[in-house]
Amino acid sequence: MSQFTSTPVPAAFAALANKLADSGGAILRQYFRKRIDVISKSDESPVTQADRECEAQMRTLIKEAYPDHGIAGEEYGIENRDAEYLWVLDPLDGTKAFVTGRPLFGILIALLHRGTPILGIIDMPILKDRWIGLVGQPTTLNGQPVAARACANLTDAYISSISPHIFDADSLARFERVRKQAKLTTYGGDCYQYAMVATGFLDLVIEDSLVYYDYLALQPILEGAGGIITDWHGKKLTMDSGPRIIAAGDKAAHRMALALLNS
């Protein structure tokens, strides 16, 4: 299926997705860079409170608008998994960033239609940057189209991963084969890394230990920017694709990295 022949995503779904990100982001901002000693609401840590409140709020809004849709999220599990439309929520992608005061955490929202991601949002509540991918349309950052960049050789590639410690011995050895070819490596950044591939500032993100809510929102964003995201065998993403994921701005770089990962 080419994305360019897909049925357009209903505008009402995109409007709801934006509303989820707006209200979720407002919650996260309340707790970011607050010392635990200034938050008296409960015995939970600020990050736990932020995470749960954000997801609960998004679930409420989805149920109000579309009671027949399914919802899967990091904090509260899966409801109505077999619905035609399934929302997949990561209310706080980057909890380590959040607790260490770094603004590179985000909210991830995906909408799946019969298992295929047709809408994805990466929202950065502190940076006030929002990427939206809608199948069949160009990906936008704050309303402006973005595009991944060309990278025909791994020796020119800027690559990234959240941390070398997300890999096991096997996957680290595979990752290192790519990293040692690359021009530049950065760590950290969570979902922001994938947004930077879609915007032409990174060429490859290679990670292990991901769960479905970490990557499903990324697919419409990467594809709508001319990039690609798959598992380490090059297969399209589903709920069960994890934990090893690779994103690239250029399909040639993706192919070369896969060859090294699997050599």
The contact pattern for its own copies, residues 57-76, with x = CB under 8 A and - = no contact, is: --------------------
Q: Which is nearer to its own copies, 111 or 197 (CB)?
A: 197
Let me know: does 221 contact 132? Beta carbons within 8 Å.
yes
Q: Which is nearer to its own copies, 195 or 210 (CB)?
A: 195
Site for its own copies in 204-263 (CB under 8 A): none
- In the complex with its own copies, the residue whose CB is nearer, 159 or 229, is 159
Contacts of 173 (CB under 8 A, 6+ apart): none
Are 205 and 161 in contact by the 8 Å Cβ rule? The answer is yes
CA distance 180 to 239: 31
Which two structure tokens, joined as six digits, stand for 91?
């209310």
Piece of 8-16, 17-25, 81-89, 196-204 that binds its own copies (CB under 8 A): 196-204
Question: How far is residue 8 from each of residues 12, 46, 63, 136, measured CA to CA in Å?
Answer: 11, 39, 22, 7
Ranges within 125-184 binding its own copies (CB under 8 A): 126-127, 149, 158, 160, 163-165, 184
Phi, psi of 41 (to 5 degrees): -60, -35
Q: Out of 9, 202, 248, 258, name the contact with its own copies by CB under 8 A.
A: 202
Given 3, 80, 185, 209, the residue binding its own copies (CB under 8 A)? 185
Sheet containing strand 70-73, strands side by side:
77-79, 70-73, 85-93, 106-113, 116-124, 129-134, 140-141, 144-145
Which lies closer to its own copies via its Cβ, residue 146 or residue 256? 146
At 247, list the tokens.
């994103």
Close Cβ partners of 67 (under 8 Å, ≥ 6 residues apart): none
Is residue 189 a contact residue for its own copies (CB under 8 A)?
yes
Figure out which of the listed residues 60, 142, 186, 262 binds its own copies, where binding follows CB under 8 A. Answer: 186
CB of 169 to its own copies, least distance (A): 15
Site for its own copies, rule CB under 8 A: 33, 35, 96-97, 99-104, 126-127, 149, 158, 160, 163-165, 184-189, 192, 196, 199-202
